[in-house]
Amino acid sequence: MEPLWIILIQCILIGMFALSASFKFLRTRSMVQHWTQYRYPTWGMFAVASLETAGIVLMISAFWSPENRIYAASLFAVLMIGAVHAHLVRARHHPVMAINAVLMLGLSVTLLFQK
């Protein structure tokens, strides 16, 4: 049985990335606006949402197959490094806009380096 804090981190990541992927797939106004500010093509939004969904599936499957947690956390970490770059470099947002991405990156890296 995994420690409760690991399960909690997994659930937080699943929830946050499910929300993020759904915003992208639904083309919410705020997501389209951000994507325009990042100067990325619209199809990239759906590619990233698909990768987030793949990470969610891997993270859910990690409850039964714990090695999948490494794959999901790695994918999430790469996506969050890209998100921080998009906010701070591409769109030149105020650093507070990248806080969520930095927190999700921190949780992903925490899972990578546990046990």
- The one-letter amino acid at 31: M
For 62-107, write each residue's pLDDT tens digit. Answer: 999 999 999 999 999 999 999 999 999 999 999 999 999 999 999 9
- Binned at pLDDT 50, 70 and 90, residue 115 comes out as low
Supply the pLDDT for residue 4.
96
For 19-51, write each residue's pLDDT tens digit. Answer: 999 999 999 999 999 999 999 999 999 999 999
CA contacts within 13 A on the Cβ side of 115? 8
Label residue 93 left, alpha or beta by phi (over 0 means left) and psi (-120 to 50 means alpha).
Answer: beta
Q: Which token pair is 23?
A: 């915003």
